[in-house]
Homo-oligomer: A and B are copies of this chain.
Amino acid sequence: MVYLTRLEHFNAAHKLYNPKWSKEKNEEIFEGCANENWHGHNFDLYVTVKGEIDPETGFVMNLKDLGKLMREYVIVRLDHKNLNLDVDFMQGKMASAEVLAIEIWKLLAPKLPEGVQMHCVKLFESHRSFVEYFG
């Protein structure tokens, strides 16, 4: 079993805001992240898959193909978007890195080639803060 990881990027706006709470409570809990006019990030997305090596190719899967899957099913839906307003699969959810990582897992897991399994979605919101989801 070998683990492969690919990095892709997206830039997006979001805010952390619970519509069930008052503006004051949102600002108390989320501080600047609750700014009604949005803020944003350069997100770094690392996806790790695992599987056996195919002796014909030396690959678990082609890492370029993993990058293509990430761009086709995830990045085009998030890049230069507003996570709260523009992204269908985030509707009605909190736009946190935790929630987003789980949704990215759900989008990618069914698209992997046979014999290859999702291992981890690792999402950096900044170089100081990241989340990981292992399914």
Question: Which residues of A approach B to under 8 Å, CB–CB?
Answer: 1-9, 11-14, 16, 18, 20, 29-33, 35, 37-42, 48, 53, 55-60, 62-64, 67, 79-82, 85-86, 93-96, 98-99, 101-102, 125-134
For residue A40, which residues in chain B have a CB less than 8 angstroms away from its CB?
Answer: 11-14, 38-41
Contact of A132 among B3, B8, B29, B101 (CB under 8 A): B3
Contact of A57 among B1, B62, B94 (CB under 8 A): B94
How many Å from the CB of A76 to the closest CB on chain B?
A: 10
For residue A63, which residues in chain B have a CB less than 8 angstroms away from its CB?
Answer: 125, 129
Complex CA–CA separation, A37 to B15 (angstroms): 12
Docked-complex contact B6 and A57, CB < 8 angstroms: no
Complex CA–CA separation, A29 to B59 (angstroms): 11
Contact (A96, B39) CB under 8 Å given A3-B131, A4-B131, A133-B3 = no
Closest to A100 in B: B58
Contact (A37, B86) CB under 8 Å given A18-B57, A58-B99, A98-B4 = yes
